[in-house]
């Protein structure tokens, strides 16, 4: 019997860390016309979806269901019958307490093609990130995976508590936080030692990970004191005692620190990735976005008459990108730049220029006057014509110093930065709840626009307990002028330099 043209991929989206997704899963997401994802699937994975793909959230948590399981299965079947390629993202692995089997049964009944793409289950990943090996030759050679909450409509339990209590297996319970007292009582009543080590791992593998450990005799009270809630994995067994020396993930220098990244979303990934790798929980609150100038004619005219200039100077990555976008849009390529000399402010801008096969001849490290003078002291720029494509309302130090050295500088707007306020409500809620440890600023515009989001009368109260980190002294000066007192300022005015001083601050080490 022929099946419909659609196909449903039942995909294990992993335990939370988007880096634990499989290659096959990514391929399926990229091919999908429709992506259906749940509460425990990392939203980061949605970035793999192709433009125009339909994105549907069907999350379920703590009894609050966007769609019931029956309706989710029906949705998948309908999309398949319509001929769509569907990526169904399920937290962990779809066939380990993921109800993937139930969805597959509906698809089989409706004669719809499907494939199962296994994922990294939280039963393995969460304990591993908490420093708990589920098996160890000195402790146990078996593992049992158990639901923490059985179907309440079942007349009798299918869990053999007496066997679990008497076995030497590591016991892993899924989604059992609310039922923890009952789990503990069942194990104790069936002969498990009250001194058996236990750990609960919430949001395992993510920067929000929280681990509470103890023994069967005290774990209920400890979890209550920690106010730990779902989603969490419960691990019972002697291997939990290894955590004290093996908790590698939670030992990262920025683990658990809630850090706001104010950079434009399109450029924030580098900073976010570095901070997350060090354990920080990054909150993206973009305060600016970079856009082409409202009138691109001056830059287009300059590109059309490049023969007039001897030098081209770039002050930012955005300047490089927008210059070359305009160059290519006019049907030109880098061959027209063969006679020019180039300068870049800072190593990151230099590296961006290098992507186009061009080496910077001069490299001032900063906008500061002394840095510009030192960098150009051996360059022949007296009487030379210089093209300076950069941001609207950029600092005047660079063109002023170049003119003081006898150069003829033509400034053109290559891009603009606009204020972004879409995340204002999220920011205010986080600040009022005391859920931000640090705010990072990578330019003066990020500082100005960040402060514009906060009512002036609330700035002192909301920001008094928040640290502020600036990428360099110019950004720091802007912050100070707006009433902030940055505790952290990078000596090397790059993303790497900023991350280094943040780590040094939290670890108490000299940079």
Give the number of other CB atoms < 10 A from CB of residue 393. 11
pLDDT tens digits, 291-311: 999 999 999 999 999 999 999
- Cis ω on the peptide bond leading into residue 231 (within 30° of 0)? yes
Burial of 315: CB neighbours in 10 Å, binned 0-12, 13-18, 19+ = buried
What angle do helix axes 473-481 and 444-452 make, rounded to 10 degrees? 30
Q: Half-sphere exposure of residue 264, counting CA atoms within 13 Å on the CB side? A: 15
Q: What is the pLDDT of residue 507?
A: 92
Those residues whose C-beta lies under 8 Å from the C-beta of residue 307, and which sit 6 or more positions away, are none
Residue given tokens 């580098």 in the structure block: 270
> Given 3, 24, 33, 60, which residue is catalytic?
60
Given 17, 38, 93, 437, which residue is catalytic? 38
**CB-count exposure of residue 248 (10 Å: 0-12, 13-18, 19+):** exposed
Angle of helix 69-81 relative to helix 100-109, nearest 10 degrees, comes to 40
**Spatial distance between the Cα atoms of 339 and 74, rounded to a whole number of angstroms:** 65
Residue 153, pLDDT score: 46
Exactly one of 93, 175, 257, 258 is catalytic; name it: 175
Task: With 0.75 as the threshold, say if the pTM is over it.
Answer: yes
Query: Where are the extended beta strands (E) located within 249-310?
Result: 258-261, 281-284, 288-291
Q: What is the mean pLDDT of each run of 10 residues along the chain (511 residues)?
A: 76 92 96 90 86 89 69 94 95 92 95 96 96 96 87 65 93 93 95 97 93 97 95 96 95 94 80 92 89 94 96 93 96 94 90 95 74 81 94 82 92 90 91 95 92 93 95 92 94 90 87 44
The pLDDT, as a whole number, for residue 1 is: 40
Tokens of 16: 């939370």
Q: How far is CA 226 from CA 54, 209, 212, 490, in A?
A: 39, 13, 8, 36
Active site residue 60: yes
Map out the domains of the chain with their CATH numbers: 7-120 (3.40.1010.10), 124-250 (3.30.950.10), 258-287+420-507 (3.40.50.10090), 291-418 (3.40.50.10090)
The first and second tokens of residue 40, run together, are 């425990």
């Amino acid at each position: 019997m022929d099946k419909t043209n659609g196909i449903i991929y039942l995909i294990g989206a992993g335990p939370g860390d988007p880096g634990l997704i499989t290659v096959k899963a990514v391929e399926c997401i990229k091919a999908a016309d429709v992506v259906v994802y749940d509460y425990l699937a990392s939203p980061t994975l949605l970035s793999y979806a192709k433009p125009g793909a339909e994105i549907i959230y069907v999350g379920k948590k703590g009894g609050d269901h966007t769609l019931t399981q029956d309706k989710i299965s029906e949705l998948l079947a309908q999309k398949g019958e319509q001929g769509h390629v569907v990526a169904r993202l399920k937290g962990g692995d779809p066939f380990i307490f993921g109800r993937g089997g139930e969805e597959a049964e509906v698809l089989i009944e409706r004669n719809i093609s499907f494939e199962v793409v296994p994922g990294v289950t939280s039963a393995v990943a969460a304990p591993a990130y908490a420093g708990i090996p589920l098996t160890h030759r000195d402790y146990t050679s078996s593992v049992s995976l158990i639901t923490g909450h059985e179907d309440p409509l079942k007349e009798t339990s299918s869990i053999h508590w007496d066997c679990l209590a008497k076995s030497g297996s590591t016991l892993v319970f899924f989604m059992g936080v609310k039922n923890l007292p009952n789990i503990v009582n069942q194990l104790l009543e069936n002969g498990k030692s009250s001194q058996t080590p236990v750990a609960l791992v919430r949001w395992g593998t993510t920067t929000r990970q929280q681990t509470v450990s103890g023994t069967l005799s005290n774990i209920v009270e400890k979890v209550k004191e920690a106010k730990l809630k779902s989603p969490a994995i419960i691990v019972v067994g002697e291997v939990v005692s290894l955590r004290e020396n093996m908790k590698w993930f939670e030992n990262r220098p920025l683990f658990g620190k809630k850090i706001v990244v104010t950079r434009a979303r399109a450029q924030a990934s580098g900073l976010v990735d570095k901070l997350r790798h060090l354990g920080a929980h990054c909150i993206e609150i973009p305060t600016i976005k970079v856009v082409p100038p409202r009138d691109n004619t001056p830059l287009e005219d300059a590109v059309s008459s490049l023969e007039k200039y001897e030098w081209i100077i770039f002050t930012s990555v955005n300047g490089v990108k927008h210059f070359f976008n305009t160059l290519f849009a006019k049907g030109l390529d880098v061959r027209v730049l063969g006679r020019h000399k180039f300068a870049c402010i800072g190593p990151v801008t230099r590296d961006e220029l290098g992507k186009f096969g061009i080496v910077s001849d001069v490299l001032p490290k900063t906008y500061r006057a002394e840095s510009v003078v030192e960098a150009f002291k051996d360059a022949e720029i007296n009487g030379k014509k210089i093209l300076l494509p950069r941001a609207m309302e950029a600092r005047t130090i660079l063109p002023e110093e170049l003119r003081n050295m006898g150069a003829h500088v033509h400034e053109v707007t290559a891009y603009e930065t606009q204020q972004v306020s879409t995340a204002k409500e999220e920011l205010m809620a986080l600040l009022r709840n005391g859920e931000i440890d640090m705010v990072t600023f990578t330019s003066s515009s990020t500082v100005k626009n960040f402060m514009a989001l906060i009512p002036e009368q609330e700035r002192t109260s909301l920001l008094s307990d928040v640290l502020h980190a600036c990428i360099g002294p110019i950004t720091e000066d802007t912050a100070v002028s707006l009433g902030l007192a940055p505790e952290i300022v990078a000596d090397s005015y790059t993303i790497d330099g900023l991350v280094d001083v943040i780590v040094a601050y939290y670890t108490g080490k000299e940079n």
